[in-house]
Amino acid sequence: TQLLEQSPQFLSIQEGENLTVYCNSSSVFSSLQWYRQEPGEGPVLLVTVVTGGEVKKLKRLTFQFGDARKDSSLHITAAQPGDTGLYLCAGADTGNQFYFGTGTSLTVIP
Amino acid sequence: KAGVTQTPRYLIKTRGQQVTLSCSPISGHRSVSWYQQTPGQGLQFLFEYFSETQRNKGNFPGRFSGRQFSNSRSEMNVSTLELGDSALYLCASSLGGSSYEQYFGPGTRLTVT
């Protein structure tokens, strides 16, 4: 079983603060995705990273794939209440099977 | 382009019954994957279908089965329901092949009493 550990598990911050979520594994992945999920809904794809060391920016969100393609991070600058949700990372193996992380529940307080 | 749709959205069943959930992928997507999400276990992979064939399977008992039709629509069946089967069941579609991106439906909330 390829496990993806996310940290922290829970995060509660004030609007305007910065934060980083980590996604770590001992396995190498072909690609890694980040999703955000709101209660009662399915996860929504935010970004896909494929190349080791790759950095992608999506407005205030910055995603990085580790050089060895085993870990990733999500950094949010100046968090807003609309960023509240469950953040999930998912790694794909060479057979295109996806393994999801344990999730980080983020609450941004106005 | 319409997103992934799942029916029904909510379902209440009694222990021992069986249930069938349906998923319609994004037009043109040939791969459909099913996941079970619970507060304790998170998102767990059930199986993936590509062009009507099961391509990958997670670590779930044989009570969980699925199939995919020629139009890429997929169904998931759970027989002899147990209380622990209560969960949000999510379907995700992708182009398949070397595509790494999955798009999820809103899920079916199954409650077993």
Give the span between the Cα atoms of B86 and A95, in whole angstroms. Answer: 29
Residue from B26, B95, B100 to probe the interface with A (highest A Cβ count within 10 Å): B100
B100 touching chain A per CB within 8 A: yes
Residue count (chain A)? 110
Cα–Cα dist B92/B31, whole Å: 8
If pLDDT is split at 50, 70 and 90, which confidence band does A97 have?
confident
Question: Average pLDDT, stretch B37-48?
Answer: 90
Task: Give me the pLDDT at residue B42, please.
Answer: 87
The Cα–Cα gap between A63 and A78 comes to 15
Asked if B43 lies within 8 A of A88 by C-beta distance, the reply is yes
Q: What is the pLDDT of residue A3?
A: 79
* Interface contact A41-B90, CB threshold 8 A: no
Residues 16 through 35 of chain A touching chain B, CB cutoff 8 Å? 30-31, 33, 35
Tell me the C-alpha distance between B11 and A23, whole Å.
Answer: 33
For residues A32 and A93, the model is more confident at A32
B104/A35 touch (CB, cutoff 8 Å), yes or no: yes
**Contacts with A41 from chain B: Cβ below 8 Å:** 106-107
pLDDT above 70 (res A81): yes
- Report pLDDT digits (tens) over B69-105: 999 999 999 999 999 999 999 999 998 766 668 899 9
CB contact under 8 A, A42 and B107: yes
In sequence order, what are the residues at sequence separation of 6 or more whose Cβ sits closer than 8 angstroms to the Cβ of residue A57? A63
